[in-house]
Structure 1
Amino acid sequence: MGYFSDYLKRTDDRMLSKWVHYFEVYEREMTRFRQRPISFLEIGVFKGGSIPMWKGFFAEGSRLTFVDIDPDCAQHAEEGTSVEIGNQADPDFLAQLAEKHGPFDVILDDGSHVCAHQIASFEALWPHISDRGIYVVEDCHTSYWPGFGGGYRNEASWIEYAKRLVDRMHSWYTDQDAMFPFDEIAKDLQGVRFYDSITVAEKHQKPEPPTTLYAQNGKVTLSRRALAVRGRKSAFAGKDGT
């Protein structure tokens, strides 16, 4: 686990609670953000154990903001960090938070784990993610617990919402305009990655539609014609047994 395995040996009395396999995901997804000062937001403070961990992980000079609904969490703020008290499902609070501390390069939702709260926070804060930034939601297994607003294949769960993000990201290519219209989030959603109990949405602003590249005999041409075609069929139709 690199940095994290070393850090865990240096923890103080502020408790940190994470599933063991999360640290590998952190290394994979966040290491590239260590090269320069960034703006980081974590929803959920609990006992404050993650504050010194992230402070040591990211580059010196990073702006680190933490949010919790419990006023007692304010005591965990330390030099170089801010702790804001508010409800992660309150759009007015989140708007004020983004105005004060955003935009953010990395947002990590480790808050209430209630599905409706996860969705509300994402919808309010996604516009405040920097280009090439990521939005991480952890403890997504609560999407399978009815007590958190989830349940297997419950459309109101965070996991089902995240699955729909995959559809929305691909709406550039719709061939069923009435039932599957273009979604504006396709202009800046680069990818959605699923790990055990963690989802990562990556932003890459791309206001222009995807382009097909053709290269032959040293000549490169670009085209968007494929996006305008309807009733597409595979070039292999009838040749592969279908």
Structure 2
Amino acid sequence: MADFFSDYLKTTDERLLSKWAHYFDVYTRELTRFRGRPISFLEIGVFRGGSIPMWKGFFGDQARLTFIDIDPACKALEIPGTSVEIGNQADPAFLADIAAKHGPFDVILDDGSHVCAHQIASYENLWPHLAEGGLYLVEDCHTSYWPGFGGGYRNEASFIEYAKRMIDRMHSWYTDQDALFPFDPIAKELHSIRCYDSIVVAEKRTKTMPPTTIYAQNGKVTRSRRALEIRGRKSAFAGKDGT
């Protein structure tokens, strides 16, 4: 566990903080670059409020921290320098209001209901309000394997299966089956999908132009997008490896 979090856990107060132990290493790896900066952070899910002072301490006083929860009692857990808003994470109108009031966001962390349909709804409504270079984290994705949360193994309605489809959409630049797998505009914004145990991280970086192949020889560098335009591609090694 990273130093900040291991030290912080020893200073907690009556506010209950509940996290899987391996999440702290993920936070350190993904979020350290945002520390000490004037970022806007949104966490879905307040519960007993234990993460509110933790994130304030982690990101620092320059950060604008917003938390949302469906339970009105969570408003009382607000501390100086933070905002707690009450509403449903699956309600597009509520999320639009939050984005208008507090966005765009550099980091969005979904630790809300963990219901797959809610996770998908929040992602689809908030992704447009994620800033360039920002991260969208959905945690407790193991609920995608629990039918009681709208999941179940290989259930197309689960968030994990949705994340797998996001990987496909990110690669739609390279389609060779236009009718079956057309280009998806999200490929212009989705830089990467990183999957950890129970956490999915999506990073936004706008690509103004399609991917380019670089050829370099004898100091001469050229670029080409031909590989995106042709169809019926075959491996250069076909027939040479026994296939």
**How much does 1:59 deviate?**
2.9
Partner of 1:7: helix, strand, or coil?
Answer: helix
**How much does 1:37 deviate?**
1.7
Conserved in 1, the CA contact under 8 Å of 2:169 and 2:184? Answer: yes
Conserved in 2, the CA contact under 8 Å of 1:70 and 1:85? Answer: yes
Instruction: Show the counterpart of 1:155.
Output: 156
Conserved in 1, the CA contact under 8 Å of 2:36 and 2:63? Answer: no
Q: Tell me how far apart the structure 2 counterparts of residues 89 and 44 of structure 1 sit (CA, whole Å).
A: 12
Q: Which runs of 5+ in 2 are unaligned?
A: none
Q: Tell me how far apart the structure 2 counterparts of residues 75 and 216 of structure 1 sit (CA, whole Å).
A: 64
Q: Tell me how far apart the structure 2 counterparts of residues 241 and 94 of structure 1 sit (CA, whole Å).
A: 55
- The 5 A counterparts of 1:17-166 are 17-166=18-167
- Whether 1:174 aligns to 2:168 is no
Partner of 1:55: helix, strand, or coil?
Answer: helix
Conserved in 2, the CA contact under 8 Å of 1:119 and 1:158? Answer: yes
**How much does 1:229 deviate?**
0.6
Conserved in 2, the CA contact under 8 Å of 1:48 and 1:76? Answer: yes
Conserved in 1, the CA contact under 8 Å of 2:36 and 2:62? Answer: no
**How much does 1:207 deviate?**
2.5
Instruction: Show the counterpart of 1:189.
Output: 190
**How much does 1:120 deviate?**
0.1
Would you identify which runs of 4 or more consecutive aligned residues in structure 1 move more than 2 Å? none
Q: Tell me how far apart the structure 2 counterparts of residues 59 and 26 of structure 1 sit (CA, whole Å).
A: 15
So what's the TM-score if we normalise by structure 1? 0.99
Q: Tell me how far apart the structure 2 counterparts of residues 186 and 115 of structure 1 sit (CA, whole Å).
A: 23
Q: Tell me how far apart the structure 2 counterparts of residues 204 and 240 of structure 1 sit (CA, whole Å).
A: 38
Give CA deviations for 1:137-172 in whole Å, capped at 9, x if unaligned: 000000000000000000000000001000000000
Conserved in 2, the CA contact under 8 Å of 1:190 and 1:201? Answer: yes
Q: Tell me how far apart the structure 1 counterparts of residues 69 and 242 of structure 2 sit (CA, whole Å).
A: 57
Conserved in 2, the CA contact under 8 Å of 1:38 and 1:59? Answer: no
- The 5 A counterparts of 1:192-211 are 192-211=193-212
Aligned residues: 242
**How much does 1:35 deviate?**
4.1
Over the matched positions of the two proteins, sequence identity in percent amounts to: 77
Partner of 1:214: helix, strand, or coil?
Answer: strand
CA RMSD of aligned residues (A): 0.6
**How much does 1:240 deviate?**
0.9
Partner of 2:223: helix, strand, or coil?
Answer: strand
The residue identity in structure 1 corresponding to 2:25 is: E
Q: Which runs of 5+ in 1 are unaligned?
A: none
Moved more, 47-56 or 58-67: 58-67
**How much does 1:112 deviate?**
0.2
**How much does 1:36 deviate?**
1.5
The residue identity in structure 1 corresponding to 2:212 is: T
Q: Tell me how far apart the structure 2 counterparts of residues 63 and 223 of structure 1 sit (CA, whole Å).
A: 42
